[in-house]
């Protein structure tokens, strides 16, 4: 179970999505990508995964204005120790190279 503060933060992130997150969610929702279910802004321990597929044990992170440096290695290590594969993409790549990003995600879930 996650802490109430983490759950509150996840809900706030769902309301305040970036353009890249909205675009990617359009392609991932309703099992649109390879028939795999994803949920968005899902708490995992003390962290919130941008997109999580429990059945594929995959987390997709979209890094953008909230991150000023490279993606957090500690967060990734925590998630991988719990059995998840973690894919990370920059906002710019999701917006400009959408098909390539979707191809990488598709390969990871199939």
What token pair was written down for 19?
Answer: 């353009």
What's the pLDDT at 17? 82
The number of distinct structural domains making up the chain is 1
What's the pLDDT at 46? 87
What's the pLDDT at 6? 60
CATH number for the domain that contains residue 16: 3.40.960.10
**Number of other residues whose CB lies within 10 A of the CB of residue 29:** 14
What's the pLDDT at 73? 80
What token pair was written down for 62?
Answer: 């979209």
What's the pLDDT at 1? 55
Stated pTM of the model: 0.83
- Backbone phi, psi, residue 57, to 5°: 50, 50
User: Consecutive 10-residue runs of the chain (110 residues): their mean pLDDT?
Assistant: 59 72 96 96 90 97 68 85 96 97 97
* Alpha carbon distance 54, 12 (integer Å): 22
The whole domain housing 20 covers: 4-109
């Amino acid at each position: 179970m996650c802490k109430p503060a983490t759950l509150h933060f996840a809900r706030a992130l769902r309301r305040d999505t970036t353009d890249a997150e909205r675009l990617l969610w359009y392609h991932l929702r309703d099992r649109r990508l390879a028939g795999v279910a994803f949920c968005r802004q899902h708490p995992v321990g003390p962290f919130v995964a941008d997109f999580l597929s429990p059945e594929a044990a995959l987390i997709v992170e979209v890094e953008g204005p909230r991150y000023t440096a490279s993606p957090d290695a500690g967060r990734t290590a925590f998630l991988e120790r719990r059995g998840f594969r973690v894919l990370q993409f920059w906002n710019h790549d999701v917006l400009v190279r959408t098909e390539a990003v979707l191809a990488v995600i598709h390969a990871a879930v199939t």
